[in-house]
């Protein structure tokens, strides 16, 4: 553990040199704050994931035909610090004023509503059941990259917050509420996250039939996709759907966990069975992906891809509430995979921040409300671009 000043100086030096690195913090767990960690690669070599036996931090695009990058532990310095604030409970301010002029927004609105309508038509024609459609928005920002990252760490305790830099991908930052997959030994966890509404001081809210249906579709698809990895000797248990807060938004969420059948569970196959999930792509997966690649008029790149620790050596902290014998087990070293879906993210270009926002479309979707949802989602990122 180093102090946070030294931690951020090390990141800055890496940025100056243009070397690949990642800094990140996992979501707060039952009020227990996670430390902020970084993997700082020592040289300029580009490493790609080959067979998912690698150890390090992976950064994978939406389109899984393209390569996934990795900052390997083997060639990196690992550092860790404590850096957190109790700001998460506050509402994220709506920041419409300083951002793009109305003219631009009108055009963007029409374009996004047309795209959503196209998706609805495709669903009504019976060719798709659900499709997630998105757009990008470019805004100017005044803060340098570490300042934006610190803002994310301050504001979003319950998200997975990261800053990724690689000379081949550029700088990306995000605060995502969505787990793709966590695996430790033969235990796994994932979630079905879909349905969105604004947060107004309470998480005790009602959900409409459209949101409940949409979220159930995602849960069912995840359970079905995982079945072959858990059947026979493994098991899988979904929670009841519940409301989960993410910045200024609420989502409907089901946690799924279980044990894997060691004969069929292979990390590469498991990831490709899940990614891209119906929470960011659609159903059926292949046709939804095709529709997205053809009809969205920009390249998602790493937005709605996944990222996180891959087979990373982790020393479990002792838990003083447990009996001695169990403490022994909890102090052991294991390999952990902790992957998140790359949502609520920003790609930085000199002076410009490109934001990415989307939403799930089903037969009952309304284009104008879908536009509003993307505007609400964009506040998560806009709020960290200002002082
Ligand atoms: C696609 C995004 O979010 C996804 C879509 C959601 C929805 O349609 O309600 C909710 C959470 C995410 O699974 C995004 O944030 O860009």
Q: How confident is the model at residue 324 (pLDDT cuts 50, 70, 90)?
A: low
What pLDDT shows up at residue 89? 45
What pLDDT shows up at residue 314? 80
Return the closest-CA partner of residue 361 out of 352, 369, 350, 351. Answer: 369
Q: Whose CA is nearest to atom 1 of ligand 1?
A: 358
Domain ranges within the chain, ordered by starting residue = 4-95+127-382
Ligand 1 atom showing the smallest separation from residue 132 Cα: 1
What pLDDT shows up at residue 315? 75
The region of weakest confidence among 46-50, 211-215, 234-238 is 234-238
CA 218 / ligand 1 centre spacing (Å): 11
What pLDDT shows up at residue 203? 94
Return the closest-CA partner of residue 361 out of 218, 256, 224, 221. Answer: 218
Q: What's the mean per-residue pLDDT of the chain?
A: 90
For 74-104, how does the pLDDT look when each residue is reduced to its tens digit (9 = 90+)? Answer: 999 999 999 866 554 455 554 545 555 556 6
Return the closest-CA partner of residue 308 out of 218, 191, 180, 216. Answer: 180
For 3-49, how does the pLDDT look when each residue is reduced to its tens digit (9 = 90+)? Answer: 999 999 999 999 999 999 999 999 988 778 889 999 999 999 999 99
Mean pLDDT for the stretch of residues 184-210? 93
CA 196 / ligand 1 centre spacing (Å): 7
265 pLDDT more than 50: yes
CA 358 / ligand 1 centre spacing (Å): 6
Q: Which of 254, 279, 304, 373 to mutate to test the pocket of ligand 1 (most atoms within 8 A of CB)?
A: 279
Return the closest-CA partner of residue 384 out of 346, 352, 357, 356. Answer: 346
Q: What is the pTM of this model?
A: 0.93
Q: How far is CA 65 from the centre of its chain?
A: 19
Q: Which CATH architecture has domain 4-95+127-382?
A: 4-Layer Sandwich (3.60)
Percentage of the chain surpassing pLDDT 70? Answer: 90
**ipTM, two decimals:** 0.98
Mean pLDDT for the stretch of residues 351-379? 94
CA 212 / ligand 1 centre spacing (Å): 14
Helix/strand/coil for 81: strand
Return the closest-CA partner of residue 112 out of 369, 380, 384. Answer: 369
Mean pLDDT for the stretch of residues 227-256? 90
**Ligand 1 pocket by C-beta < 6 Å: which residues?**
132, 134, 178, 193-196, 251, 279-280, 343-344, 357-360, 377
321 pLDDT more than 70: no
């Amino acid at each position: 553990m180093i102090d946070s000043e030294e931690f951020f100086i090390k990141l800055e030096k890496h940025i100056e040199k243009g070397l690949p690195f990642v800094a990140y913090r996992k979501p707060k767990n039952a009020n227990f704050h996670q430390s902020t960690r970084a993997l700082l690669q020592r040289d300029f070599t580009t490493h790609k994931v080959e067979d998912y036996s690698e150890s390090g931090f992976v950064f994978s695009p939406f389109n899984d035909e393209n390569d996934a990058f990795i900052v390997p532990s083997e060639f990196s310095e690992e550092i860790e610090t404590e850096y957190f604030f109790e700001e998460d409970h506050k509402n994220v301010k709506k920041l419409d004023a300083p951002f793009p002029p109305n003219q631009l927004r009108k055009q963007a609105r029409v374009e996004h509503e047309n795209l959503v309508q196209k998706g609805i038509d495709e669903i009504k024609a019976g060719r798709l059941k659900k499709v997630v459609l998105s757009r990008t928005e470019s805004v100017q920002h005044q803060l340098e990259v570490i300042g934006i990252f610190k803002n994310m760490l301050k504001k979003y305790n319950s998200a997975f917050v990261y800053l990724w830099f690689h000379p081949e991908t550029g700088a990306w930052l995000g605060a995502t509420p969505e787990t793709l997959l966590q695996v430790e030994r033969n235990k796994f966890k994932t979630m079905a996250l879909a349905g969105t509404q604004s947060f107004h001081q309470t998480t005790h809210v009602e959900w409409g039939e459209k949101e409940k249906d949409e979220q159930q579709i995602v849960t069912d698809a995840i359970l079905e996709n995982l079945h072959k990895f858990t059947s026979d000797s493994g098991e899988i248990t979904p929670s009841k759907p519940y409301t989960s807060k993410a910045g200024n938004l609420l989502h409907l969420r089901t946690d799924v966990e279980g044990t894997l059948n060691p004969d069929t569970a292979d990390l590469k196959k498991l990831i490709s069975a899940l990614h891209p999930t119906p929470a960011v792509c659609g159903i059926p997966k292949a046709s939804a992906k095709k529709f997205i690649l053809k009809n969205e008029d920009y390249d998602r790149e790493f937005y709605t891809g996944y990222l996180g620790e891959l087979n990373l050596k982790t020393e479990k902290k002792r838990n003083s509430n447990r009996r001695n014998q169990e403490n022994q087990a909890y102090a052991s070293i294991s390999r952990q995979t902790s992957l998140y879906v790359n949502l609520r993210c920003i790609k930085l270009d000199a002076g410009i921040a490109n934001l990415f926002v989307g939403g799930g479309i089903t037969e009952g979707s309304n284009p104008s409300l879908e536009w509003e949802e993307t505007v609400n989602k964009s506040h998560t990122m806009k709020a960290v671009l200002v002082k």
